[in-house]
Copies of this chain bind each other. A is one copy, B any other.
Amino acid sequence: MTEKTVNKIALIGAGNVSIHLTKALYKAGKNIIQIFGRNTDEGNSLADNVSSEFITDLSKLTTDADLYIVSVPDNVLSEVLDKIYIPNKLIVHTSGSSEMEILKNTSDNYGVFYPLQTFTKTKKIDFQNIPVCIEANNKANFDLLFELAKCISKDVKIINSKQRTILHIAAVFACNFSNYFYSIADEILEKHDLSFDFIKPLIQETAQKILNHKPKEAQTGPAKRKDYQTIETHLKALSKFPEFKDIYEILSKKIINHNIKK
């Protein structure tokens, strides 16, 4: 049996997602009774900030929480779950790409609580606007997670495991890969003693455009115009950056050749 409302929460993991999620839940009045993490200043400081006990040994995991949130990198998730067995207790993970069923041997009550956002430790973020995607193994657990998600976000979504993987892939393209290109731009500019500040307005405008335009319609640039002359000029100038030159070439070809279907 799970409780009718989630109040006491234990967090397993003290990384980027966990830090921001923990703070949001604490701010929403939830009782963060325990946090498990590696023994780092960061983990200890997080626990202090939310008046929680900090443990570094999973065998000391409390049995007293209404909800256990496992928020660790995907590649160690199975390993961590192997050490958790809390029958009757509600347990969720926060992963974009792991199926809900990965939790089935930990408890009879399980689900997913996936905030779709990019988290950086040092950057504050307003959870209210972050889509929180939830899934649960039965209606009662779903209701508990839905109610909890509503406490921290205006944008709660019902998403199954397959859909969540697709969302995560879309996020990798739109966020992780875009940010990697910001890095490339930064490095190229820095090597030529030009400030990254030059292109900050451009980056903001590019991101804001898609709020009201289909990205395909907002596409600009030499490849979109099939301007081979400029592409050649750029490839020549990129000869000092072979690792970026090939990306430029591949993506220009993609944009030229691939007519994204509407």
Please state if A248 and B198 are interface contacts (CB–CB under 8 Å): no
User: By the criterion of a CB under 8 Å from any partner CB, how many residues of chain A are at the interface?
Assistant: 96
Please state if B238 and A184 are interface contacts (CB–CB under 8 Å): no
* A175 partner residues in chain B, CB cutoff 8 A: 199, 202-203, 205-206, 220-221
Identical chains bound together, number: 2
A-B contact pairs, 30 of them (CB 8 A): A16-B220, A74-B227, A74-B229, A75-B229, A96-B230, A118-B218, A120-B209, A120-B220, A125-B205, A130-B201, A163-B194, A165-B237, A169-B234, A169-B237, A169-B238, A170-B184, A170-B199, A171-B221, A172-B234, A173-B188, A174-B202, A175-B206, A176-B221, A178-B182, A180-B255, A183-B214, A183-B260, A186-B214, A186-B215, A196-B210
Task: With A174-B199, A174-B203, A179-B219 given, name 20 new contacts (CB 8 A).
Answer: A118-B205, A118-B206, A123-B218, A167-B189, A167-B194, A169-B188, A170-B186, A170-B188, A172-B221, A175-B203, A176-B221, A176-B255, A178-B182, A179-B210, A179-B218, A180-B254, A200-B211, A203-B207, A207-B207, A207-B208
